[in-house]
Amino acid sequence: MILFKDKVTSNLIEKFLEGDKSCFAEILKVISSDVINLAYCYTHNLEDAKDIFQEVSFKIFKYLKFFKKKAKFTTWVYRITVNTCIDFLRKKKKIMAMKEEIIKDENSFCEKLEDKERLRMVKEALSNLPSKAKAVFILRHYQGLKIAEIGKILGCSESSVKTHLTRAIAIIKKNLEER
């Protein structure tokens, strides 16, 4: 799926760089679901995820000229998204305030009590993770990316990714067992 997306987007990028600006909307359409999905894993809020998508779109538009085709386009987009998510959360200081927000946050999509409870659990589990471990866990667990690809996105080695993943799960396990 990712390979297919990369092929599609590489053609669109070439057209866009040649001056066909209409291709930009097509590029955004291709990557929108991935970006929103990843942003939602970070923020647990659809509106925030949409804001992040917009921010990521601006960045892509701005820096697409400088995109080196050595890496995959999706890897590049994931990298931008992860960084934007971290900045977004840092700005809003949501990492610290997340626990308090859980009570107030009445999401319309969580109709079932079970879903609410699960979301609360996930939020709690993820909120205490260190930044890099959180990124690794989200990319591996929710996005289903391979270790090597996560390494490329976060700019670290495979062994480092593995260590972060194990550490993330250990922390989650500990947190949930303490409850």
Partner 1 sequence: MRHLSLKDLVFLYYGDSDAGVSSKLTQHLRVCKKCLREYQKLKTLLSNLTIKLPPIKEEEIEELIEKVKEKVFEPTFLEKVKYRWDYLTIHLRWRLAPQLLIGTVAVILALVIFPWWRNFNLDRELKILQLEAKLSLEDLSNISPFDFWENTINSDSFLPSTPQNNFGQVHKET
- Rule CB under 8 A: which residues touch partner 1? 21, 24-25, 28-29, 32, 36-37, 40-41, 44, 46, 50, 53-54, 57-58, 61-62, 66, 107-109, 115, 118-119, 121-122, 125, 140-142, 146-147, 162, 165-166, 169-170, 172-173, 176
| Phi-psi label, residue 44: left if phi above 0, alpha if psi -120 to 50, beta otherwise | left
User: What is the per-residue DSSP string for 98-166?
Assistant: HHHHHHH---TT--SHHHHHHHHHHHHHHHTS-HHHHHHHIIIIIS---HHHHHHHHT--HHHHHHHHH
Judged by beta carbon, residue 95 or residue 121, the one nearer partner 1 is 121
Residue 41 C-beta: closest distance to partner 1, Å:
6
Judged by beta carbon, residue 58 or residue 157, the one nearer partner 1 is 58
Residue 131 C-beta: closest distance to partner 1, Å:
18
Judged by beta carbon, residue 102 or residue 147, the one nearer partner 1 is 147
Residue 110 C-beta: closest distance to partner 1, Å:
8
CB 81 within 8 A of CB 38: yes
Can you read off the two tokens belonging to residue 78?
């994931």
